[in-house]
Amino acid sequence: MTIPPQEIGVGIVGFGTVGTGTVKLLLENAELLRKRVGIPIRLVRVADRDVVKDRGIRLPEGVFIEDGMRVARDPDVHILVELVGGTGAAKDFLLEAVRNGKSVVTANKALLAECGPEIVKAVHAAGVDIGFEASVGGGIPIIRTLREGLAANRIRAIFGIINGTCNYILSRMTREGKPFAEILAEAQAAGLAEADPSFDIDGIDTAHKLAILVWIATGGHVPPKEIFVQGIREIDQEDIAFAKEFGYTIKLLAIAKENGVGIEVRVHPTMIPSHYLLATVDGAYNAIYVKGDFVGSSLSYGQGAGMLPTASAVVSDVIEIARNLRRGCAGRIPPGGYFLADPSARANLAPFDQVHSEYYLKIRVVDKPGVLSRIAGVLGSHAISIASVLQKGQGQTAVPIFIVTHRAKESDMRAALAEVDRLPDVLDRTRMIRIENNL
């Protein structure tokens, strides 16, 4: 039996925002962590290429270094915390640590989503642990909830608001009536959105997180490129106003649900009834709604990003792994929550064109008789029935027609809209937002 260490050495690679919060927590709550684990957790190494920047934290002499590989190979480091981000150097540091027999913790959703099977195979082969609670939902313990708290359940559906930047923008657009571009610029000025916000507002970040949630829920890997992804760039105040008038709120949702054929996995702006709890999630907060076959519905809510909430999630993984190391064990709970012979097994995804939904359509047309009937005819020819219609601004040269449909198949809707957009009185590409009424 492996002799347990008398203290747990932690090394951190990446001393940015989350790294700073993690160091701060490890130092300030050292005594609490000792009581939680039973032996001390000691910060052995911190590595970052920028050794000049003042993070407002004084580290002991020799702890702060520039070379991340030294941390990955340091025999005094039992747990390596990777907070570099991306899929380049971060992957190298993490895998080198695993090859050196170290357990690892990461907040890197892109790395897990893109390279998860490779990393899990390496972790299994080395007989070490990996923690990634901070990769989805910031301070919300959703990974542990799915992997342990709801382990007895078959997960039927997940609906998540898991990008704080998008939720902040949409919340302010809804509350203040300002346009997308103005709110985005203000979010960037306040540090709530990146200088290049495309990773967030185009839904890529959300897709990476959804891939991880589906993996934990089903045991199957989901390549991010196979997830339908649509961002929030095109949402405008006409859409917001219509949603309000008809009792809906627009959110960027990560959706995974069983539909009898497979698992729908998609990210897109979605209209949901405004009285739903998920619709009330405001600002940069996150929330994940989960439906299990025995437990029913549950909602996890909290801060989805930020220095301290994310650091809390990172250190929760450090504590869990430290407890295992103290007992001389690893792999008690597999990374994805399933003991599978092949960790690269794919989730059974349903084809996106077979998804059924209700739809909101905004069609800008020439204001003259017969236009609506021609549009309705095209929709009807593709088995799409109209639930309600609203037209505003009569007497103008161009007016918008707002349509809500009954449930229809995605492939039928796309074929219908391609035909609608070719009608001579339709002036622009039809805008579409999917509606979820049955969360």
Q: What amino acid positions are annotated as catalytic residues?
A: 209
User: Which tokens hold the place of 220?
Assistant: 């199957």
Spatial neighbors of 182 by CB under 8 A, at least 6 apart, are: none
CB 126 within 8 A of CB 98: yes
Question: DSSP letter at 384?
Answer: -
CB–CB of 393/402 below 8 Å?
no
Residue 354, both tokens: 């077979």
User: What is the distance between the alpha carbons of residues 405 and 417, in angstroms, rounded to a whole number?
Assistant: 13
DSSP reduced 3-state for 288? strand
Burial bucket for residue 293 (CB in 10 Å: 0-12, 13-18, 19+): exposed
Closest CA to 335 of 56, 132, 67: 132
Neighbouring CB atoms inside 10 A of 69's CB total 14
Tokens of 276: 């739903």
**Cβ 204 vs Cβ 268: under 8 Å:** no
**Enclosing H/E stretch for 240:** helix 237-245
Alpha helices in 74-163 (DSSP H): 89-99, 109-126, 142-144
Residue 339 has what DSSP assignment?
Answer: -
Residue environment code for 103-123, b if the CB has 16+ CB neighbours within 10 A, otherwise e: bbbbbbbbbbbbbbbebbebb
Residues 6+ away with beta carbon under 8 Å from 203: 163, 166, 229, 230, 231, 232, 252, 267, 268
Q: In what order do the strands lie in the sheet with 8-13?
A: 64-65, 41-47, 8-13, 79-82, 103-106, 130-131
